[in-house]
Structure 1
Amino acid sequence: MDIRKIDETISVSPQITVDDVAELARLGFRTIVANRPDHEEPGQPLMSDIEQAAKTHGLDWVYLPVESGNITDTDVDSFAPMIRDAEKPVLAFCRSGTRCTILWALSAARTEEPASVVARARNAGYDISGLTPRMIQQASHQQ
C-alpha cells in the first residue's frame, strides 16, 4: 500500500485490496472511503469484497464512486459532509489517490484557504495547484 497522509484526519491511497484492510485497521484507520467505481478497469477488486473486509475488521465503509476526470460540484457536495462526519482517521482510495485528493481539496476549500490546501496535498505528493481557481469558487458552497 502507498498511504499518503494529508493530515491527522485523512490519508489517501491508490487502489487497496481485501488483504490490505486488516493492515489499515491495525494502523488505526476508522473509516475507508472508496471513490472508485466498480469495473473501472479489468482485474480491480470488487468494492463489495473490500466493504465486507472493512466490516469484518470493525471499520466504517463509505462507497462514493466518482468518475475519474469528471469531479462535479455534486460529488463535492456528497464528499464534504461525509468526510466532516466520518469517524477519523479516514483512508480514501481510488485508482491513484488523485481523485480522492481532489475531492478532499475541493471540500476543504469551502472552509480553508486554497494555499493551505495545496500545501498539504503537495506534502502528500499531489500537485493540485491547478485547482486553485476552482477551490476559490468552492468557498461560496460552504456547508
Structure 2
Amino acid sequence: MKELPGDVFVTGQLMPAQLAALAEQGVMSIINNRPDFEAPLQPASDEMEQAALSASIDYFHIPMAGALTPGLIEASMTAYDTTPRPIVAYCASGMRSAALWAFAHVDRMGIDSVMQALSDAGYSLEQIRQPLMEFAARDRTC
C-alpha cells in the first residue's frame, strides 16, 4: 500500500479475506474503484461490500472504467469528505485510485501539493496536471 496525505492508502486489488485484517489494523473505510468483471477472478463489488460490512468497515464502490467523469470526481469527493479514516482505496494497480484521490483533494491542497504527494507515493501521474488545473479553476457558481 502507498500512503497519501489525509490518512489514505492506495493499493491494487484487494480480496475479501484481507478486509478483516485491515479492520484489525484500524482501517475504517474502503473505496473500490474497479468496475465489476474487469478481470477474471476479480471479486465482485457485492462480495467486497459484504466482506467490508462483516469487518465493520464502511464501503464505497466508485468504479472508474475509462475516462474520468464529473460524476466520478463528485462521488470521490463525497466519499473522502464523509467517510471515517483511515481509508484504503483500490483498483487494479492503485493508479486510478490515486488519480481520483488527487481530484478529490486538489481544492483543499492545491495542484503542486497534490502532484508532490502522488510523486512521493511513487505515482507518475504528470498527465493529470492539466486536467487538475482545469478542474481547480472551474466555475463553482453554477
Q: TM-score, normalised by structure 1?
A: 0.91
CA shift, 1:83, in A, is: 0.9
Residue 71 of structure 1 corresponds to which residue in structure 2?
A: 68
Q: Is the 8 A contact 1:110 1:142 kept in 2?
A: no
- Structure-2 separation of matches of 1:9 and 1:56: 22
- The superposition leaves residues 84-103 of structure 1 with CA deviations (integer Å, 9 ceiling, x where unpaired) of 11111110111110001001
How big is the alpha-carbon RMSD for the aligned residues of Structure 1 and Structure 2?
Answer: 1.6
Residue 29 of structure 1 corresponds to which residue in structure 2?
A: 27
- Ranges of 4+ aligned residues in structure 1 off by more than 4 Å: none
- Structure-2 separation of matches of 1:22 and 1:87: 16
- Structure-2 separation of matches of 1:16 and 1:84: 23
Aligned to 2:108, what secondary structure does the other structure show?
coil
Task: Kindly provide the amino acid, as one letter, of the partner of residue 108 in structure 2.
Answer: T
Change (3 A) 1:49 1:111: same
CA shift, 1:124, in A, is: 1.2
Unaligned runs of 5+ in 2: none
Residue 126, structure 1, aligned to residue 123, structure 2:
yes
Residue 138 of structure 1 corresponds to which residue in structure 2?
A: 135
- Structure-1 separation of matches of 2:63 and 2:135: 20
Pairs aligned (count): 140
Task: Kindly provide the amino acid, as one letter, of the partner of residue 97 in structure 2.
Answer: C
CA shift, 1:59, in A, is: 0.5
- Provide the identity percentage: 27
Residue 114 of structure 1 corresponds to which residue in structure 2?
A: 111
Of 92-101 and 80-89, the range deviating more from structure 2 = 80-89
CA shift, 1:79, in A, is: 0.9
Residue 14 of structure 1 corresponds to which residue in structure 2?
A: 12
CA shift, 1:8, in A, is: 3.6
Residue 102 of structure 1 corresponds to which residue in structure 2?
A: 99
Task: Kindly provide the amino acid, as one letter, of the partner of residue 40 in structure 2.
Answer: P
CA shift, 1:42, in A, is: 1.2
Q: TM-score, normalised by structure 2?
A: 0.91
Change (3 A) 1:124 1:51: same
Residues 50-65 of structure 1 mapped to structure 2, 5 A cutoff: 50-65=48-63
CA shift, 1:142, in A, is: 5.8
